[in-house]
Amino acid sequence: MKKICLGVVGIVLTFFSAYAQTPQKDSSTYKSRKLTFDEANLVSSYYKQEGNNAAVTGGIGSQKLSDISNTIDVKFIKWDRKDRKHSFDLEVGLDHYTSASSDQVDLKANSSASHADTRIFPSVSWLIENEKNGTTIGAGLSSSTEFDYQSIGANINFSKKTNNRNGEFTAKAQAFIDKVSLIYPTELRSGGGGDDDDDDDYATTARNSYSGSLSYSQIINQRLQIMFIADLISQKGLLSLPFYRVYFNDNSVQKENLPDTRMKIPLGFRANYFIGDKVILRSFYRYYHDDWGLTAHTVEVEAPVKVTPFFSITPFYRYYKQTAVDYFAPYKTHISSNQYYTSNFDLSAFNSNFYGAGIRLTPPKGVFGIQQLNMLELRYGHYTRTNGLNSDIVSMNLKFK
C-alpha cells in the first residue's frame, strides 16, 4: 500500500508538472468557451489510533487502527454563451485500513476477512454560476465501495446572493442509498461458530440517509463574516453494525441492536474575523441532537497567521462533548429485557480534544520549482477522548493551478 501511495504521488506530480510548460491565458480577461483545466488537489493522509473499548468485542479490547488515504480532485471550467460559469469537479479517493478490533469478528482467527479493507470513493459534481443575477445551481453523484458496504449518493444545491452581494442563501439536499453486508460474529451465525470464510456470499440489507441543509452567510463589514447553518437528517434501515457484539449481565452475547430510524438535527454558527492583514480568527459552534437521546456541542477555533506573503502557520483546536444514546451500556451491564442495546463507545458520553497546526507554502515560482504546483500544505493533529481513545493524523495537500 505504501508503494501505491508513493506511485500515486509520482504520477500526479509528473502529469501536472506538464502544465508548467504550457502558457496559460490570463483568466481575469479571458473566459474560455471550451472546457479548460482550473486546478487539482492531491490530499494524502496517515491516521493512527489506540484505545481499549472495541465495539466488535463488546466494548473491551484493542481499538488499534491505521489508515492511509489518498484523494485526487480535479476541476475544470468553461463559460457558455450566456456568460455563465460551468465548473466540473472529478474526485477519486482510496483508503486502506488495518484494524485490530475488526480482526475479532472471528475470535479464533489470527486474521479474519475484516482485519483490513480498502475503500474506493469516486464522485463528480457540476455547478453553474450566473454572476449577473448571483445564483448558482449544482448537482453531484458519488459512490463508496468496501468489503461489507456499498453506497450511492446524489445531491442538488442552490444558492442566491443578495442584491449588494454581501449575503448569500444556500439550500442543499442529499440522499445516500446504501447496502450493508450482514457479517455476524462467527458464534452468532446460523450453524454456530463456523470458521470465517473470506468467500462467503453474505446477504445484504438497506440503509438509506436523506438530508436537507439551509445556510445563510453575511459580510458584516471588512473584518467580520458570519454564517448560520441548519440541517435535518433522516436515516432508515439497518443502523446498527451486525458484527458488533453486546455482552449482557447474565453472560449471554448478542449482536448490536438499534432502532431502524434516526432523526438528527445539527445547528451551526460560523464567524471569521480578520485581525489586521496577517491574522484571521476562524470560529465555529455546532449544537446537535437526535431522537436516540444523543446531544452534543462542538467548538472550533483556528487562527491562520501569515508569516510572509508566501508562508503561513495555522494552529487549531476543537472541543467536543456529547451525552450517551439511550441504548448504550458498557460490557456486561445490559439486561436481557432491553429492546435495543449497544456497547459502542462512539455512542457513549465523552469529551474530546483535537488540536494541532498546519503550515502552508505558496512560493511565487511554484513548489519545488514547478510553476503550476502553487501550494503545499502540511497538517498534524492529535485527538484525545475521556474514555481513553487517542489518535494522530498527518496530512499533505498539493494544489496544481
Q: What is the pLDDT of residues 159-218, one digit of tens each?
A: 999 999 999 999 999 999 999 999 999 888 875 544 444 445 789 999 999 999 999 999
pTM for this predicted structure: 0.89
Indicate the average pLDDT of the chain. 90
CB 38 within 8 A of CB 84: no
Percent pLDDT > 70 in the chain is: 88
CA distances for 291 relative to 123, 182, 288, angstroms: 31, 25, 11
CA distances for 38 relative to 16, 19, 26, 86, 129, angstroms: 11, 11, 12, 11, 15
Q: Torsion angle of alpha carbons 103, 243, 323, 385, nearest 10°? A: 0
Q: Specify burial of residue 19 (Cβ count, 10 A radius: 0-12, 13-18, 19+).
A: middle
Q: In CATH, what number does 2-20+37-400 get?
A: 2.40.160.40
71: cell is 484523494
Query: Is 92 a residue whose pLDDT tops 60?
Result: yes
Q: What pLDDT does 110 receive? A: 52
Q: Specify burial of residue 113 (Cβ count, 10 A radius: 0-12, 13-18, 19+).
A: buried
H or E element that contains 13:
helix 2-17
CB 384 within 8 A of CB 352: yes
Q: What is the mean pLDDT of residues 296-309?
A: 97
Q: Specify burial of residue 26 (Cβ count, 10 A radius: 0-12, 13-18, 19+).
A: exposed
Q: What is the mean pLDDT of residues 219-246?
A: 97
Could you give the 3-state DSSP secondary structure of residue 154?
strand
Q: What pLDDT does 106 receive? A: 72
Please tell me the distance from the alpha carbon of residue 89 to that of residue 38, in angstroms, as a whole number: 10
